[in-house]
Amino acid sequence: MAIVETRKLTKVFKQGQPGAVNHVDLETREGEFLVFLGPSGSGKTTLLRMIAGLETPTSGEILIGGNVVNHLPPRERRIAMVFQSYALYPHLTVYQNIVFPLKAQKVKKELHKQKVEWASALLGIGRLLDRKPRELSGGERQRVALARAIVREPSVFLLDEPLSNLDAKLRASAREELEQFQKRVGTTTIYVTHDQVEAMAMGDRVVVLNQGTVRQIGTPQEVYDQPADTFVATFLGSPPMNLLETDDLIVGFRPERFLPSGLVAGSGSTDEIASRMKTEHLLLADVGKRVPLRFRVEYIEYLGAERILYGALEGGRFPGKAVASRIPSGVTERYEANSVHDFIVPESELKFFDRASEKRVAPKAIPWQ
């Protein structure tokens, strides 16, 4: 077990060009599942490879377990890494793949068999030990790669998009398993992904990266509900947060908080609202002050559990601004393309950002008409 810390960590691949990783400061907690989340090209892999020792930092320090490890080669950092391609050794059997780190690190021979069996049992791949990697499915390969990573009981796990090669269904179950597994072994884990669902579901905390800089570090709830800037606000959530620009401010609200006014408590009798809904999932509590907006629906995506309405605001302060609304399937109201409706946003759900810096600022009152 160990804590990983980076101090002003920077990587510039070509002089004169912007760095792939810029002044990153972060610190894991003991046994934590920390997720690096960012779009592709945001420097997640480079950051992870520097922690692993596979890439030399241009400047800054890396600490593992309290010691600066910049000068140590990967093999001396007591880490294990799972690569996006899994990087299984193609000429070796599954058994030989898993035992490879033990041999390389000169673990006593008597222990090999027992440790491989422990790791393969933990991942349920005991019956695959004689196969070659090319004879395995994607899910099996991923397990072998994990078994190879845990067999030497490292102090830190580094995982680079380990689920991105699996199909959607397998990915969901693998995600669940991986999370359970990490809780069980309790090893500090850094997990790289560009998939916000993965990040939210698995991470104890999420580090949101863009263009090599850290935009926000926080629990999934914090980064979703209290985004530090407009990048985080729009990168998380699908569809992203609606943003409206005005003077020196940007006002934002989530599509799931942008709802037909008739469906929010306080805008009619409770019976009336309940009769228009099949389930009670929708927020019925009194939401306090509301901002009314007229919404012209342009097209509708039906996603089963919800509908997403895309369209634009009408009249008011932001005429013609594109916005989206997410409506749970319990709402039976019909919406047609090119119809105009009265919608509201609870005022408490509004987020304010400074227009110049794009950072979040304290709520302000703005005239909506």
Partner 1 sequence: MVSGTGRRVFGGLVHALVLMAFSVLLAFPFYWMLITIFKRTNDLYNLQNNPFKFNEKPTLEHLQLLFHDTLYLRWVANTAFVGAIVVLITLVLAVPAAYALARLTGRWGERLGIAIFLTYLVPPTLLFIPLSRLVAILGLQDSLWSLIVVYPSFTVPFSIWLLMGFFKSIPRELEDAAMVDGLTRFGAFVKLVVPISVSGILTVVIFSFTLVTQEFVYALTFISSEAHQMVGVGVPIFLVRGDVYYWGSLMAACLITSLPIALLYNLFLDRFIAGFTVGAVK
Does residue 142 interact with ligand ADP by CB under 6 A?
no
User: Could you say which of partner 1, Mg ion, ligand ADP, none residue 166 binds, taking C-beta under 5 to 8 angstroms by partner kind?
Assistant: none
User: Residue 168 corresponds to which tokens in the numbers above?
Assistant: 């959607």
Does residue 47 interact with partner 1 by CB under 8 A?
no
CA distances from 263 to 135, 252, 272, 281, 287 (A): 55, 21, 9, 11, 11
Q: Binder to partner 1 among 56, 85, 173, 279 (CB under 8 A)?
A: 85
Does residue 81 interact with partner 1 by CB under 8 A?
yes
Q: Binder to ligand ADP among 15, 40, 269, 338 (CB under 6 A)?
A: 40
Does residue 20 interact with ligand ADP by CB under 6 A?
yes
Does residue 6 interact with Mg ion by CB under 5 A?
no
* Residues composing the chain: 369
Stretch touching partner 1 by CB under 8 A, among 26-34, 47-55, 336-344, 346-354: 47-55
User: Residue 252 corresponds to which tokens in the numbers above?
Assistant: 């934002």
Does residue 45 interact with Mg ion by CB under 5 A?
yes
Cβ distance to ligand ADP smaller for residue 144 or 208: 208
Number of residues that bind ligand ADP (CB under 6 A): 10
Whose tokens are 């994990």? That residue is 146
Q: Binder to ligand ADP among 4, 6, 22, 38 (CB under 6 A)?
A: 38
CA distance 368 to 151: 60
In the chain, the DSSP E strands lie at 4-11, 21-27, 33-37, 59-64, 67-68, 79-82, 156-160, 188-193, 205-210, 213-218, 242-246, 249-253, 259-260, 290-302, 306-314, 322-328, 340-346, 351-354, 360-361
CA distance 95 to 115: 11
User: Could you say which of Mg ion, partner 1, ligand ADP, none residue 89 binds, taking C-beta under 5 to 8 angstroms by partner kind?
Assistant: partner 1
Cβ distance to partner 1 smaller for residue 107 or 122: 107
User: CB of 216: closest distance to ligand ADP in angstroms?
Assistant: 16
Cβ distance to Mg ion smaller for residue 45 or 97: 45
Angle, helices 138-150 vs 168-185, to 10°: value is 20
Whose tokens are 């342009």? That residue is 298
- Interface positions with ligand ADP (CB under 6 A): 13, 20, 38, 40-46
